[in-house]
């Protein structure tokens, strides 16, 4: 069984996130999605997140692509998760191209093309 893992905030879940999750799931048989905790997002400078972690987990669950959802809460957790869950593929959007190459020591790293023209930032601007 090929196990895939991906991570994100998934605030105001949109088509770009859904496309990413669908393609990540297609890379293997079992998809684990790591949803960032509210405090982890604050620590990494991602302020102004609209949905709290429970809302964001519920939105990811509703897509139907995640076989398992975990919470990402600290720097360095990705390596721990890849080892703990015996992950074959780490997948993330192409806006992170190159940034996670260090994980290739532990599993295959795949950058999936980002969906153009949609972002949480744009949705927030449009809401204003």
What distance separates the 2 farthest-apart alpha carbons in the chain? 45
- Give the bridge partners for 30, in sequence order: 3
Q: Tally Cβ neighbours within 10 Å of residue 91.
A: 24
Bridge-based pairing of strands 3-8 and 68-72 is unpaired
Q: Please report whether residue 115 would count as binding ligand C2G according to CB under 6 A.
A: yes
Helix (H) or strand (E) holding 8: strand 3-8
State the residue for tokens 């669950």. 61
Among 20, 27, 53, 82, binds ligand C2G (CB under 6 A): 20
Q: Closest approach of Cβ 63 to ligand C2G, in Å?
A: 11
Shortest CB 76 distance to ligand C2G, Å: 11
**By the rule CB under 6 A, 25 interacts with ligand C2G:** no
**In the complex with ligand C2G, which residue's Cβ is closer, 10 or 65?**
10
Q: Which of 29, 43, 68, 95 binds ligand C2G (CB under 6 A)?
A: 95
Rounded distance between C-alpha atoms, residue 23 and residue 49, angstroms: 24
Identify the residue among 5, 28, 36, 90 touching ligand C2G (CB under 6 A). 36
Q: In this structure, what are the phi and psi dihedrals at residue 51, rounded to the nearest 5 degrees?
A: -90, 140
Find out whether 29 and 3 touch, Cβ atoms under 8 Å: yes
Our CB check for ligand C2G shows the closer of 8 and 28 to be 8
x/- letters, 47..86, toward ligand C2G (CB under 6 A)? -------------------------x--------------
Which residues bind to ligand C2G, rule: CB under 6 A?
A: 7-11, 16-17, 20, 36, 72, 92-93, 95, 114-115, 118-119
């Amino acid at each position: 069984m090929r196990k895939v893992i991906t991570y994100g905030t998934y605030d105001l879940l949109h088509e770009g996130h859904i496309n990413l999750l669908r393609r990540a799931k297609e890379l293997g048989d079992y998809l684990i999605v790591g949803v960032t905790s509210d405090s982890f997002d604050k620590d990494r400078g991602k302020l102004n997140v609209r949905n709290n972690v429970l809302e964001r987990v519920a939105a990811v669950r509703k897509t139907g692509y995640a076989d398992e959802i975990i919470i990402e809460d600290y720097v360095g957790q990705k390596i721990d998760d890849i080892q703990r869950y015996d992950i074959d593929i780490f997948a993330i959007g192409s806006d992170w191209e190159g940034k996670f190459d260090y994980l290739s020591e532990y599993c295959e790293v795949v950058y999936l093309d980002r969906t153009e023209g949609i972002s949480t930032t744009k949705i927030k601007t449009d809401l204003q």
